[in-house]
Amino acid sequence: MRLLITGGAGFIGSALIRYLIKNTKNTILNIDKLTYAGNLESLLSISSHKRYQFQKIDICDQTALEAAFSSFKPDAVMHLAAESHVDRSLTGPAAFIETNIVGTYTLLEVSRKYWEKLPSQQQDSFRFHHISTDEVFGDLANTTDLFVETTPYAPSSPYSASKASSDHLVRAWRRSYGLPTVISNCSNNYGPYQFPEKLIPLMITNALKGKPLPVYGAGDQIRDWLYVNDHAKALYAVLTKGSVGETYNIGGHNEMRNIDVVTMICDLLGEKMDGQDFRKLITFVTDRAGHDLRYAIDASKIERELGWTPDVTFKEGLEQTIQWYLDHPQWWERIFNGRYLETNNAIT
């Protein structure tokens, strides 16, 4: 297949592309605006591959998108481009509205017009796969329930509200125009190449620099953690085996309190760093506004219908992630000093 992937320079997008190039025969067009979180250094291992190409495009730019569709002629779209950091959405929600809502609308319209001109057989096989988040479902505080595909939406932050809006747009384009769409909602991802503003890479890199490890409130927030390589495999399963019009929840079966994640990072790092006590760096800070207490996904549908289950346990994945950050200081140090932007600018 010829796959047009938006947001492929981001954390999950780059993991997906590396997986596809290594494990499939598909041809990839990576479209990315290259905001601060887009890092083409995460794709250097496959950047010269004959089945990979990159174009710097904002998904709100209809003209540029139409040109890309016309020249590349995709068989499917995998839409990952999004503003995704909750803290940033609280201080600057406009970018989330623009990219996650307006950008998704623009991509849907370009995809629909392209799809409508395809021969009938290609129309039947075309897919628009929208990658979303479990945060659209809101908070599972004070309950043992799990998010299922039919859980009502109740987003708490500008980020999750914008992603909920994009999910609704995708479903509307399926219902109104017949565009063959599929949606997946995933739990918190972690793994190599994650931008170090997110919890796990922030704790690892701060610890290695001897800086405080900031934990919101008492650290009682519970998340279901999913190793990013497992997520990439799940996304490909949804694209190739999922049913049109369906939604699939993707989770790691790893519910953990944030404070337990942080202490586990400290202890695993300590084992690798001559018994250093990293727990002394833990610093409790004022909780953020509207902070959901618990997310947890029921991933039984994707297991039952598509045969996907996560391969990596949380401890295994965390050990691999910590070792990766220890082995690749040049990657994350170039983010902190801004030098990674030189690679972005040089390639584009």
pTM for the model stands at: 0.96
What distances in angstroms separate CA 179 from CA 40, 108, 116, 165, 238, one per listed residue?
31, 9, 9, 17, 16
In a domain, 243, yes or no: yes
Does 340 reside within a domain?
Answer: no
Q: Are strands 222-227 and 255-257 parallel, antiparallel or unpaired?
A: antiparallel
338 in any annotated domain:
no
Is the predicted pLDDT of residue 1 greater than 80, yes or no? yes
CA distance 32 to 243: 27
Strands (E), the chain: 2-6, 27-32, 52-56, 76-79, 127-133, 181-186, 188-190, 213-216, 222-227, 247-250, 255-257, 282-285
Domain coverage including residue 160 = 2-194+227-254+291-313
- pLDDT band of residue 289 (cuts 50, 70, 90) is confident
Question: For position 50, which CATH number holds?
Answer: 3.40.50.720
In a domain, 101, yes or no: yes
pLDDT level of residue 328 (50, 70, 90 thresholds) = very high
Q: Which tokens belong to 155?
A: 């987003």
The pLDDT of residue 332: 96
Residue 194: its pLDDT value, please? 97
Domain count, the chain: 1
Residue entry with tokens 């796959």: 3
Is 278 a domain residue? no
Segment 23-38, tens digit of pLDDT = 999 999 999 999 999 9
Main-chain dihedrals φ then ψ at residue 282, nearest 5 degrees:
-65, 130
The catalytic residues are 134-135, 159
What is the residue-averaged pLDDT of the chain? 96
State yes or no: pLDDT of 348 exceeds 80. no
For residue 74, is it within any domain? yes
Instruction: Report the pLDDT value the prediction gives residue 347, as an integer from 0 to 100.
Output: 79
pLDDT band at 346 (very low <50, low <70, confident <90, very high): confident
Tell me how far apart the alpha carbons of residues 328 and 19 are, in angstroms, rounded to a whole number: 19
At which residue do the structure tokens 């965390």 appear?
Answer: 318
Given this model, what pLDDT does residue 75 score?
98
Please name which of 24, 27, 17 lies closest in space to residue 193, comparing C-alpha atoms: 17
